[in-house]
Amino acid sequence: MKVSIQGYKGSYSHIAAAHLFGKNVDVIERDNFSSVFEDLKSGDAEYIVVPIENSTHGSVYQNYDNLTKYGFPVIGELYLKVKFHLITNPGTKLEEIDTLYTHPVGMNQIRKFLSENPQIKPIEFDDTAGSVKLIKEKGEKNLAAAASRFAADYYDMQLLKDDIQENGKNYTRFFLLGQSNEVSDQINLANENYKTTIQFVLGEEAGSLYKSLRAFADRDISLSKIESRPILNTDWEYRFYLDVEAHIDDEKMQNTLRELKDYVRELEILGSYKKGEYIET
């Protein structure tokens, strides 16, 4: 079973896929999110795993747009704790390092470590796991990367120093998407509680957003996230994405959706799936 991800093997997307499908999952590496969705569209991949938001840096807007563009159902989610470790070629000592590679977002997470080691020059790279692969290929002891323990193990590199990030509570949420709503028994989705993600475009009536949200509140249905994205080629129109703490088949949810249709002109269910686990890395 092939799973497409954005990034290199050893990346956080790879970790998410490995948790869902097992450590020997067959991943397809792509350098952008559109190519990942195209793999699902073409059938080159049976599933895709993509980040949708980060607790520190917010939403991955391109993937919200891709949910609408491609229309594939969300069938699962998980939350990965993002940690950065100092990774080097075997035998390297800290005092030998003068260059460190990692993703720009990762670089922001390790500023304190860099300030404490001013001899190390930071260089941005397009992927955390890719930075580990890069220094392995170069094979030089003056080089280091900031990435996950999984990446260090995958590329058989030395983990010289644990947890060099500043934020100890940094999580990335990933969506699992498939070509249909069917979920294989081979996928590790243990939670019995459900969440539903929907999208809608408001109607013209005044107060439509308030009335739409009130429909959930009136039935004691919680919303865990609300996101909006501008609609191309319109004058200040937005598409709203909601994460709802209920299964699509719940009676209260069905009644809410029926009322919601009075206030919106487009409504689509993007997926109803088991709530994700929080995974240490």
- Give tens-digit pLDDT for 47-82: 999 999 999 999 999 999 999 999 999 999 999 999
Counts of helices then strands in the chain (DSSP H, E):
9, 16
Q: How many CB atoms lie within 10 A of CB 144?
A: 31
Q: Which one is catalytic: 174, 175, 216, 240?
A: 174
Give residue 186's pLDDT.
76
Would residue 174 show up in a list of annotated catalytic residues for this protein?
yes
> Which amino acid makes up residue 162?
D
Give residue 11's pLDDT.
97
Same fold: 2-82+170-180 with 85-161: yes
Give residue 265's pLDDT.
95
Give residue 78's pLDDT.
97
Under DSSP, the state recorded for 173 is: E
Residues in the chain: 281
- The fold for domain 194-274 equals Alpha-Beta Plaits (3.30.70)
Sign of the Cα pseudo-torsion (76, 81, 82, 85, in order): negative
Give residue 167's pLDDT.
86
Q: Which one is catalytic: 128, 172, 196, 256?
A: 172
Structural domain spans, the chain: 2-82+170-180, 85-161, 194-274
Q: What is the pLDDT along the chain (281 residues), one digit of tens a residue?
A: 899 999 999 999 999 999 999 999 999 999 999 999 999 999 999 999 999 999 999 999 999 999 999 999 999 999 999 999 999 999 999 999 999 999 999 999 999 999 999 999 999 999 999 999 999 999 999 999 999 999 999 999 999 999 999 988 999 999 999 999 888 777 888 777 999 999 999 998 999 999 999 999 999 999 999 999 999 999 899 999 999 999 999 999 999 999 999 999 999 999 999 999 999 88
Give residue 141's pLDDT.
96
Over 194-259, what HEC string results? EEEEEEEEECCCCCHHHHHHHHHHCCCCCEEEEEEEECCCCCCCEEEEEEECCCCCCHHHHHHHHH
Would residue 256 show up in a list of annotated catalytic residues for this protein?
no
> Which amino acid makes up residue 207?
G
Give me the CATH code for the 2-82+170-180 domain, please: 3.40.190.10
- The fold for domain 85-161 equals D-Maltodextrin-Binding Protein; domain 2 (3.40.190)
